[in-house]
Chain A
Amino acid sequence: MRIAFKLAYRNLIGAGLRTWLNVLVLSFSFVIIIWAKGVLVGWDHQAKTDMAQWEIAQGQYWHKLYDPYDFFTIADSHAPVPEAFQAAIDQQAMVPILVAQGTIYPEGRMMPILIKGIKSDQTLLKIPAYKLDTISDAIPVVIGANMSKACHLKKGDRTILRWRDSQGTFDAAEIEVVEVFSTLVPSVDAAQVWIDLKTLQEKLNMPDEATLFSFGALEHQPAEQGDFLLKTTKDLTSEIDDMIATKSKGQAVFYGILLLLAMLAIFDTQILSIFRRQKEIGTYVALGYTRREVVGLFTVEGAMHAVLAAGLAAAYGIPFFIWQSKVGFTIPMDTSEFGMAISPTMYPVYSVGLILSTTLIVLITTTVVSYWPSRRIAKMNPTEALRGKIQ
């Protein structure tokens, strides 16, 4: 068998450009598949990381009545901060957030929004809450870039915010936008303003109350704490999982087509080899090779394309992968019109499993495709083959 590999190797190298074209295409399949899958995993990570950093940290506790899809639940979904959470909050491992309904009146238009109270000294989430300390005769608020665009409020702009306290009494005050932040997480951006938690608790007459908590590293994660129910990261990011699952299924078809194309090249090469090298085949048989051995020889030769391709892919792919995982893959489009100051960049993440499985798939496919045309050899008449007569 060793001789088979040696022979195969020599034959391939001897074929020059033909082999290298095949190998190049095949190596392409390696790199593209690994990269594209890496981007998808990276996207998944990025989306989840963004969500974690901006909104959910490592998980949340929701008031049992809270339903972000049902505005009517919001007025009732608040309760005092459970005793058990206090220590974690003091250690910055947990951030209480109070949610209320409100109305803003930019340019005299009524806009229903959510008011979210967050501690200005929190460091768990990326919401620039520290800006809420800004000294102003109006209530300082921070809003997302999309919100800023929707309500035409820029940094420094003011408008009236109206809300009702826990007893239903109307209250209103001027707010000043002290910061506009850019985020890729719409659920902390769209139709909401962030204000200081203490101020909101005071204004709503809900001292020490909260609607939900985002927590970081938390030793105890009971499924329920008072009126609050645990929402794990898995629950909260299921939408991203769904999206990634659809995308991977969609991508799989693309890999299939790419592999098919590479296999087309291998197939063509194999057919030609067998056609052109009949005398050689005849000679092998005359020398005492069984037909199966000859088939094996040609199969190994075809499959070796994949081995060479893996080598080539490693040669230019590894630096490319490393570079990509550092600078990330930024989708070339103009994002400014969407009110985003940043472009979504995905940093590909490659796993050993991903690389191994891709290599294995390419190797097996190549072997099968190499074997297929080689079967013809088994049907050849050795004497005719020896004469080089086309069969």
Chain B
Amino acid sequence: MKQIINIMVAFLLVVPSMAQPTANDLLKKIDQNLSSKNRVFESEMTIHGKRASRTVVSKTYSVGDKQAFTEYLSPAREQGTKMLKLENQLWIYSPSTDRTIQISGHMLRQSVMGSDLSYEDMMDDRKLTEIYDGQVLRTETLDDRTCYVVELIANVSDVAYHKRLMWVDAERFVPLKEELYAKSGQLLKQTVMSEVLKIQGRWFPTKMVYKDMLKQGDGTEFKVLNASFDQDIPDYLFTKAALKQ
């Protein structure tokens, strides 16, 4: 989830530009634009299972890219479950067992809450500009919006996805669609973003549908219920002790 937020947040752009910008410019502008001290948002994730769909509501506090704390609010089974990410470590606290469990190694490759996302997808907190070289390929119309199609090719080897294609709204500078590719060029995953709203002066896509393209199924739907920036978040939230409270 965090990764989605990262992506989303990374691509919010307020300053419109008339000339076609370079991809790196785009990425940098997105970064600059979104550099808030911290963010707090409540979100709703709907997982379309083979048989039934489930909706999980959570509240996330994050500072920069390195620290994040998520508390699950519903459904009842998940309520009170907390997740803490510090740098590249991840802990989950479950109230029913009163246990703090470190998620590491192979466990990171497991799916989060049965969604099409893995813990690992949430862990990569490097900026896109650091690990990808970008290039604006063309402009295209997507859902009646003019978009820049940005191609990102990894410039480091330890990334999950070698290539990304991103459709960035040319006016509001919000990503509307992203495709993740394997090294071979095979399309693996697709994210479609919509319902772009203005929050605290920023354009914010509040709905994303995340889908594993190789698998049958309807994917995972992610909805931001409310978001706020530059809040007072107490430091102790980002400690293991906070998990148990």
A residues engaging B (CB < 8 A)?
Answer: 72, 75, 103, 105, 108-110, 160, 162, 164-165, 167-174, 203, 205
**B158 sits at the interface (CB 8 A):** yes
| The stretch of B32-40, B181-189, B192-200 that contacts the partner chain | B181-189
Residues of B with C-beta under 8 A to A205: 157
Whether A170 and B215, one on each chain, are in contact in the complex, defined by CB atoms closer than 8 angstroms, is no
Shortest Cβ gap from A55 to chain B (Å): 26
A172 B184 Cβ-Cβ under 8 A: yes
Q: How many A-B residue pairs have CB under 8 A?
A: 60
Residues A169 and B214 in contact in the complex (CB < 8 Å), given A160-B186, A162-B182, A162-B188:
no
B160 within 8 A of A: yes
B157 cross-chain contacts in A, Cβ below 8 A: 165, 167, 169, 205
A381 to B197, CA, bound (A): 122
Secondary structure at the B interface, as helix, strand, loop or mixed, is loop
Indicate if B106 sits at the interface (CB-CB under 8 A). Answer: yes
- Smallest CB-CB separation from A162: which chain B residue? B214
Asked if A72 and B106 make an inter-chain contact with CB atoms under 8 angstroms apart, the answer reads yes
Residues of chain A within 8 A of B188, CB atoms compared: 162, 170, 172
> Known: A105-B215, A162-B188. Is A169-B158 also a contact (CB below 8 A)?
yes
Q: Which residue of B lies closest to A164 (CB)?
A: B160
**Least Cβ–Cβ distance between A107 and chain B, in angstroms:** 8
Interface hub of B120, B161, B180, B184 (most chain A Cβ within 10 A):
B184
CB distance from B3 to the nearest CB of A (A): 14
Q: Are A168 and B182 in contact (CB under 8 A)?
A: no
Q: In the complex the two chains form, is B183's CB within 8 Å of A160's CB?
A: no
Shortest distance from the beta carbon of B89 to any chain A beta carbon, whole Å? 17
* B interface residues, Cβ below 8 angstroms from A: 105-106, 120, 154, 157-162, 180, 182-184, 186, 188, 214-216
Contact between chains at B160 and A170 (CB < 8 Å): yes
Interface centre among B120, B161, B180, B183 (most CB of A within 10 A): B183
Q: Within the complex, which residue of A105, A164, A167 is in contact with B214, where a contact is CB–CB below 8 Å?
A: A105
* Interfacial chain A residues near B154, Cβ < 8 Å: 169
Q: A162-B182, A162-B214 are in contact. Are A169 and B106 (CB under 8 A)?
A: no
B183 touches A109 (CB 8 A): no
Distance in Å: Cβ of B15 to nearest Cβ of chain A: 33
- Asked if B184 and A168 sit within 8 Å, CB to CB, the answer is no
Q: List 15 A-B contacts (CB under 8 A).
A: A72-B105, A75-B106, A110-B214, A162-B188, A162-B214, A165-B157, A167-B157, A168-B120, A168-B159, A169-B157, A169-B159, A169-B183, A170-B160, A170-B161, A170-B183
